Structures are given as C-alpha cells and as structure tokens.
Amino acid sequence: MRPVRPCPRPAVGGAGPVRHRTAAGAGGCRRAGQQRSRPLGRTVLDASELSSKRKASGDTAGLLKDIPGVSLYSGGGASSLPAVRGLADDRLKVEVDGMPITAACPNHMNPPLSYIAPDQVGAIEVLSGITPVSAGGDSIGGTIKVDSPEPKFAAPGQDLLTTGRLSAGYSSNNHAISTGGEVTAATANASAKYSGSWTRAGDYHRGGDGAPVQTSLYQIEDHTVSLAGRRDGHLVELQGGWQFSPYEGFPNQRMDLTENSSKFLNGRYAGQFGWGKLDANAYWRGVEHEMDFLGKVKSANTMPMNTESDEFGYNLKAELPLNPRDTLRVGNEFQRYTLDDWWPPVTQTVGMMGPNNFFNIHDGQRNRIGTFAEWDARWTEKWSSQLGIRNDTVWMNTGEVQGYNGGMMYGPDAAAFNAKDRSQTDVNFDLTALLRYDHDKTASYEAGYARKTRSPNLYERYAWSTNSMASSMNTWFGDGNGYIGDVNLKPEIANTVSVAADWHDAAKKTWGFKVSPYYTYVQDYIDADLVANYTGTLAGYGLYRFANHDAELFGVDISGNRELMDDISLGRAVFKGSLSWVRGRNLDTGDNLYNIMPLNARLGVDHQLGGWSSGVEPAIGGQQGLRLRQPAGKHHAGLCPAEPAHRL
C-alpha cells in the first residue's frame, strides 16, 4: 500500500511507504516544513539508485544485495530468497505493491520477489532493524517492500501527457536476453499505463573450467495494466496483471519449474482528510504451478507435481496527528491463503507412483487477521520515541490426504494424518519500543526492542509422507533432504534488541558511517530433527521433521560512504563500503542455523556524469561452520552440492 503523504510528521520509526503518494489538492500541512525522521535500520532505494542495478540483475532479489544485513541464497535464475540478519523466507514480511505473497510450491520456487521484474521496480524499502508493528505482522525478521513506479499525471493546464520507456539487455555468461518497457497516457486527474518485460536465459557458466551449470536456464514474462485517478487529495489506483514462466531450472533442487502462471488484481485508495490520512488496499492473486524434470539431466523419467493457490485480503491504515507532539497509527488487515498440492499418477497400475493422485496438501487453508496501534512522540527537537502493539490471529486447516495408492508405502502415513485434529489457531502478540536521539545534524543514535511472532506455514504443519521420494519433494532449503511437518508446531517468538549509530556531514552528501549491532533470542524456532537416514539411491540424505527449538542470532552491520570528487566536467564519484556478520545457533543442539551468511564485505565506487552512471564493486566473503544435514560433498545426480548457495 502506497499512501498519500503530502505533509509527513516528524517521528521516529514510522513505517512510511517507499515513496510518498501525492494527489493534487491534498490539503494543507499541519506542521509545514517538518519531516518524519527515517529509522536508522531503514534503507530506501529510489528510481535513480535502481537504474543501474536493474541492468545487472534478472532477479529482483538481486537489487537488495548492497543493503547491509541482507544476503541472498540462490535457487532459480529469477527466484533468489533474501535473508535479513540471518532470518529468511517466510520469517520476513515481503510485499509487492502492498500485497503479501505466499510461495505456492513445496520448494518455494515462486517466492514473492519473483512476481515483479527488475525492470518494473520503482522503489524498494528494507527495514532491517526494529520493525514497527505497522510494517510487520506474522514475521520475526525484517520487512521488504517493493513498489512499481507511481502513476503519472499531466501538469495543470496540460491536455494530455504521453510517455514511454523501452529497455533491452544482454548477458554473455548465460546468453540472457531481456526487454521491457512501459507506456502511459494521462490527463491531470486520470492515468492509464501498461508495463511489461520478457527475459530468456540459458544455463550460466561457472568459474574455473567455465562449464555450464545444467538446468539453470529460465524464461519469464510480466504484463501489468494500471488505471489511476486523483481528485481533491484522494487517489484511487487499480492494477491487474499476468505473469508466465514456461520453465525455470533449479540446480540445487531435485525438481525444476516447468510452468508457473499467476494473475492478480490490486485496488488501492489513499486519502487526506482533516483528521489525518487513510490508506487502503484489497488484492487477489491466483497461481498455477507445475514441477517436473527439464531435459534428461536429473531423470530420464517424468514426475509431474501441480500446485494451485488463491490469496486475497485487505489492508486498512489510518494516521491521526493528535497534537504537535503525538501521532497515532492504527490498522487492520486480513489475509486468506488456500493451497492444493497434488501429484498426478505416472502409471495407471498400482506402484510407487500410481494409480491415484498423491495429495501432498489437500484443501489447505491459512487465514490471518491482524490489528495494530502505534504511537509516535516527538518529545523535544532531539528526542523521539515509538511504541507499538499488535495482535495477529492465525487459523489454519487442511483436508484428508492420500498417497499414490493405499499400500504400505503410503497408506499408514495417510491414515495416521487423517485421524489427527488438523485445525490449529494461534493468537500472537507483537510489541516494539524505539527511542531515538538526534544529537545534531551530524549524529543520530537509536535503541530498540521488539517482540515478534510467526505462525508455521502449511508445509511446516501438514507435510505428512515419510516415504523417501515423497518427503524429499518438500524442501525449500536446497539440501536434498526430505521434510515432514508437525501439526502441533508452536509459533516462533523472537525477542530482539538492536542499537544503531549514524554519523555524517550535515548535508548527508560528503561522508557517512553507520554501525548497528543486534541480538535476537527466538523461542520455539522452527528447525528440523532427524527421523531416519535414507537408503538406496538417496543414501547419505535423511528424513527430517520440523520441530521447535530455542535459538539465538547476533551480529553487526557496518556501512559507510565517502565522496571522492564532484566536478562539473568529470562528474561525481562516491566510495561505498559495507561489512556484515551474523551468527545463528540452535541452543538445544548447539548446531549452526541454516542459511547464515558468513562474514562478508562489499567495496565499490559509483560514478555519475549527467545521465550516465557506472560503478565497480568487488565482494569479499569469509568462511564459517556451515550446517549441512548430510555428509559434506554428498549430492544427488543432477543436484548441485547441498551447501547453502549464498550470493555475493
């Protein structure tokens, strides 16, 4: 949701939008000239910062790689999963144009950021520190908001505004070809826009011997139509779109994506009233997803796996300036997600994969309703605070399941699962408290505490078959193991303490340095316990059951910048650097947590001269004890080594 903010109030930690939506005639400011302080853990990438990054990545998640505390672990060419301070995937709150999106795949091949092409991104906001309750909900990590460009309108007195943009790119490593663009026609109060993109890439080539990484090819296209209107401080926008991918290879998974089709509708309203601001949106997204083998690399056989999901809901947020010191934010949201995951039979006779449909998740339902209240206070010109409380109630269920047949391979597991009471309800509470001190125009300090909660996803509770083939299809870790759920899993509860310091010149132009250490203790962290070791062709891998454990994560993010030159004829050059370190441990077993990025640093120089921009950026990664749930170096035929694939 991208609200109208014609006159933001100064306050700490406000979960403001990536960009300020404004409508003509939005009304007067209550406190003209003052602006809300940006939280020190908040990073915003606007259109100018994204212009060069878009060309270097076919993966929207790749646009985040320069943000301190953010790392990526790779899957398909357009489906990397971001991690923020060691917490990833469903533990993050990820929104695209105000829509939360749930991966509709047992391997999470279609994560939220795969549903918007880099060429269509207008701005990105990442909250890596203490996340306000107005920007959280059902997550224990940070928040990532990605928005398409805001609608354009003609200037007052202009009859018609028409604009267009076209881009194209080529990458020699995987012979990737991409194209994208948009066209807009608008009057002063109405706007219509079409935007689209298309990318096709072959297998990329690794370093060293330059051999291709098989099944890393992909193709994807996006199309979106947007209509918007504004009048007297009110903005209404309706989006509709379609995305289609006929194939996307996943070198670190047993399966590949053989088709993914998604349609969505998203309606938004933002208005300015005498009492404050109101933002609302309602959305729907339907996904049809198929997995099988690409080519003959992983298997000469076929094994189709189908998924269908529907996700719809709404968000309501109001901001009420109570007096010159205090601002109150309140909101309510609802999200319903339904999922069917079934595998058609390969044979019509009784066997390992026949003659019936295998129901991995049957009539799965996950519903959430959330309500929050958030109070910002500006006590003095130097001191400000934020306090927020939130409730999210999550209820979920699933229907009865069956295997390919009722024999001993699947029948006992299905019968045991069907006999359980599968209905679960979690009543979760979040709390955030943030205190900020602005010493002067060159130094700011911040300290905060957050209690955040996440309920399990459908697979963590309802994946049921212990069969080695069936269970190994349920894994978004890319490690080759198999996973089964636990209906009685408890929600994760994370308690985080974080501090931050930011030093810079008064204009925030010449130099800057920021440091932010943090510590998180997670009650009932959802890890996995070994149930049995596989035998036969899967020997060396194992069957794991999701289980609650206590865990901790701690680390530090450091970043800085220094202007090297600013010359009319030579342009402006800026040196940028960042360093991040995080450690995560299971306190019950002593093991390292999965998908934890080792110590890493980035150094770079950005140069801009007029409309031209360029840059160079080496990345440096360290080593740490990575946790593997099988012997190091063991991997399935056609499957890349199971060590987590972090991207620098």
Cα separation, 312 vs 343, in Å, equals 25
Residue 53, helix vs strand vs coil? helix
State the average pLDDT over residues 613-642. Answer: 56
How many angstroms separate the Cα of 1 from the Cα of each of 42, 98, 160, 315, 472? 17, 4, 27, 8, 37
Tokens read off for 380: 């003095």
Examine the pLDDT at 565 and tell me if it is beyond 90.
yes
Examine the pLDDT at 623 and tell me if it is beyond 80.
no
The pLDDT assigned to 638 comes to 41
Residue 645, CB-side half-sphere exposure with 13 Å CA sphere: 20
Give residue-wise pLDDT tens across range 125-135. Answer: 999 999 999 99
Higher pLDDT, 595 or 638: 595
Amino acid identity for residue 231 in this structure: R
Cα separation, 561 vs 605, in Å, equals 9
Give residue-wise pLDDT tens across range 98-146. Answer: 999 999 999 999 999 999 999 999 999 999 999 999 999 999 999 999 9
DSSP element (H, E) containing 243: strand 234-248
In this prediction, residue 39 has a pLDDT band, given cuts at 50, 70 and 90, of confident
Average pLDDT, the chain: 89
Segment among 276-285, 316-325, 517-526, 590-599 with least mean pLDDT: 590-599
In this prediction, residue 74 has a pLDDT band, given cuts at 50, 70 and 90, of confident
State the average pLDDT over residues 155-171. Answer: 93
The pLDDT assigned to 629 comes to 62
Higher pLDDT, 639 or 4: 639
CB 15, CB 132: distance < 8 Å: yes
Tokens read off for 161: 């505004």
Nearest to 115 by CA among 334, 307, 261, 311: 261
In this prediction, residue 30 has a pLDDT band, given cuts at 50, 70 and 90, of very low
Residues for the chain: how many in total?
A: 648
Give residue-wise pLDDT tens across range 467-519. Answer: 999 999 999 988 999 999 999 999 999 999 999 999 999 999 999 999 999 99
Examine the pLDDT at 12 and tell me if it is beyond 50.
no
